[in-house]
Structure 1
Amino acid sequence: MYPAIKHLHILCAILSISGFLLQGMWMLLRSPLVDHRVTRTLPHVIDTVFLGSAITLATMSGHYPFVAPWVTAKVVALVVYILLGATALRWGRTMRVRVMALLAALLVFSWIVSVALSKHPAGFLAYAGVFQ
């Protein structure tokens, strides 16, 4: 059961970041598709399954936030990613702010993936020598 849920979680990660990139491109192009009903609804469905699979995996594995440092790092970074994503796609008042938030959100998402793969709270920063 664990491998199936892990694969669902990975699939949701791929779908989530792909949808975010697509929305980001549409935002940059000022496409009306960014405000389409499906575009505004589907990411919430995907992200709900994504979060549910994460909670299930944490429960099954016994890796909980504030117990496993790398899981805590992912949860904190997830909050940052959500705030940056909302700034990029909705809250940013200027295109410059939106683009910077979009790029920062992509960097944070990449870092979250590196934390997940390495099981180290510093993720790729540990390998860059920033945190040892």
Structure 2
Amino acid sequence: MLEHYFLIKHLHMTTALLSLAFFMVRAWWSVREAPILQRRWVKVVPHVNDTLLLLLGVTLMVMLSMWPHHHPWLAAKLLALLAYILLGTLAIKRGRSPAARGVAGLAAVVAFGYMLGTAVTKDPLFLLPG
């Protein structure tokens, strides 16, 4: 399975970028209260992509025998993923006002940026000077 590592890694990275792109567009539509958010494909496509993203991430974790309790950066990335998901639901569905959805959307993008930085640097404290 290691012979497929680079393919799986690049698919994971591609689906991550698609996830962010889908999220940002849907969050913008949510703030604008655009009716397109109610279209079936808008509701389905991002979830299909995010499921694939998660499956590829778990595949990489198992393939490399990297577990969150052994790698603090991976644990931090998973916690940031939970924050991203929770903030994303506020930004797209559960925010009470367009302003609240906008703030949640920006916070979700920050959480995504933290996940990305942590993944690239393999350091959960990459933002701190030192």
**Partner residue, 2:78:** 75
Task: Provide TM-score, normalisation by structure 1.
Answer: 0.92
Residue 102 (1) aligns with residue 95 (2): no
Amino acid at match of 1:98: R
Asked which structure has the greater RCO (Cα within 8 Å, sep 6+), the reply is 2
**How far apart in 2 are the matches of 1:111 and 1:40?**
25
Task: Provide TM-score, normalisation by structure 2.
Answer: 0.93
**How far apart in 2 are the matches of 1:95 and 1:3?**
40
C-alpha displacement of 1:51 = 0.3
Amino acid at match of 2:71: A
Residue 86 (1) aligns with residue 86 (2): no
Amino acid at match of 2:31: L
RMSD: 1.0
**How far apart in 1 are the matches of 2:99 and 2:24?**
17
User: Displaced runs of 4+ in structure 1, greater than 4 A?
Assistant: none
**Could you list the per-position Cα deviations for residues 5-48 of structure 1 after superposition, in whole angstroms to 9, with x for gaps in the alignment?**
00000010111000001101211222111111011111110001
Residue 46 (1) aligns with residue 46 (2): no
Give the gaps of 5 or more residues in structure 1: none
Residue 14 (1) aligns with residue 17 (2): yes
**Partner residue, 2:119:** 116
C-alpha displacement of 1:55 = 0.4
**Partner residue, 2:7:** 4
| SS of equivalent residue, structure 1 residue 44 | helix
**Partner residue, 1:60:** 63
C-alpha displacement of 1:67 = 1.5
Tell me the matched-pair count: 127
Give the gaps of 5 or more residues in structure 2: none
Amino acid at match of 2:118: V
**How far apart in 2 are the matches of 1:24 and 1:100?**
10
